[in-house]
Amino acid sequence: MKITVIGIDLAKNVFQIHGVDEQGKTVLKKKLKRDQLAAFLSICLPA
């Protein structure tokens, strides 16, 4: 699974994460609390 685009629906306490691959197929749907977002993105995004 290679995610090429990540979309984030910003809210006060809960964020909806949506990831798609090169063909535009949904490969990730996730609901994260505010304190989980930074840890999740540090894992998903290369340094």
**pLDDT tens-digit profile of 1-47?**
688 999 999 888 899 999 999 999 999 999 999 889 889 888 887 76
Helix (H, G, I), strand (E, B) or coil at 30: strand
pTM, full prediction: 0.73
Q: What counts of helices (H) and strands (E) characterise the chain?
A: 1, 3
Provide the pLDDT for residue 47: 63
pLDDT at 43: 86
pLDDT value, residue 42: 87
Structural contact between residues 30 and 17, judged by C-beta atoms closer than 8 angstroms: yes
- Residue 19 near residue 28, CB atoms below 8 Å: yes
Question: Which of 11, 12, 20, 9 shows the shortest CA–CA distance to 44?
Answer: 20
